[in-house]
Structure 1
Amino acid sequence: MNCKQTQTLVAAYVDSEIDALRRYSIKKHLLDCADCAARHESILALRARIRAEVPYFAASPALRARVRTAVGTLRVSVRPRSRPTGDRWRWLSGGVLAGCTASVFAWMLGTTVLAWHANEDFAVAAVAAHVRATLGDHLIEIASSDQHTVKPWLSARLDYSPRRIWRTKGSR
């Protein structure tokens, strides 16, 4: 808790009008901050001075009896409720729930259909590329395993050197 918050809540703290968590935070802050502790002490002193110097008016027993009789004879008018609001809210919440459920279902259905079409297009494209590759009359372009033949052919078609996946004996 900072000084600004404590300055705002210190009067309520003195009157015990705040919850336990804030009361603990203010109490801890008052131990650390001299300015806020001084403000707290001044409010306590003012409260003690008011209680000591300001006269307290105590009502006479006759006045108390008259007030209690007047309050007892007052009629509290209760307006009849035209319609219970619980039914209205129940109906409205049911409609909102149904709308949300329909929206979520439509969204799930749409994304599933779109994903299915995207996968189908990919599969069709992959099969078409494979068929195109096998339809040609030159399935094997180099029928040699000689590195002096294969290396220039690869260098002409690739921008990088392919990685070897086998180990040769006697080399690194």
Structure 2
Amino acid sequence: MNKPSAWSSREESLLLLNAYLDNELDAASVLEIERRLAADPALKLEHDRLVQLRGVFASQLKTQKASNDFRRRIEAMAEPKFPPVIRRISLPTRARGFAWREMAAAAALAAIIAAGGTYTFLRPNSQSNEIAAIVADHQRALLAATPFDVASSDRHTVKPWFDSKLALSPQVIDLSSAGFPLAGGRVEVIDGKPVPVLVYQRRAHIISVVAIPRAGQKDTTEPSLATTNDGYFVIQWRGRDFDYTVVSDLAENELDEFVNLWRHAARVN
């Protein structure tokens, strides 16, 4: 294999590792990458992560057929049923009006309480759990040999790479002229599903842009929501076909600048 003179040994090892997992190497190259795996704990960690990721892809893409028992239950549910016989009780005219208004008010109150309770108790917990998972993935990426699966500052390289891995891939925005160069991309597993992550840099800081698919969702000009988790700044917003979450230890005002630039570029592209 001929390699460009600018390649580092690390880049060559990562390329060999991916080819090794795809069974694309000859016997001599297989022995070479296995030697490197035995001698390099960071490379072995990356190998194990990619194997786990492939397992998730395989489980997500399996086609499952409905069992005969499930089909029978669906057919039974579709069969017409005779409506129950309801015995009417006559009430005086004023009593009927009063009872109807009371029942309507009670139903409306129950709906409001139920909706409010669901939003108050379920939505924040679900959102905070998702943020914690995203921050944990960002931390793992920082501990890995590299924080990306594909290393490139060219969006025309990163975008096709995502397209080849996922059914839906996000916009890849070039912000290098503003001091936020693209570094590459990776795929993480959030809530059991593969999710694309764009990786940007700002000096020595890494910025992860996690794009959770929401097919058909429209872009919005709603303000971003900012919070912190485990010492990291987190900014979220809704975009076209994705909910975006940005994580970094970059200063909050600089991360805010990055998000504003990214959202503006995404709208005009």
Q: TM-score, normalised by structure 1?
A: 0.32
Q: TM-score, normalised by structure 2?
A: 0.22
Q: Which has the higher helix share?
A: 1
Q: Which has the higher strand share?
A: 2
- Structure exhibiting the larger radius of gyration computed from Cα positions: 1
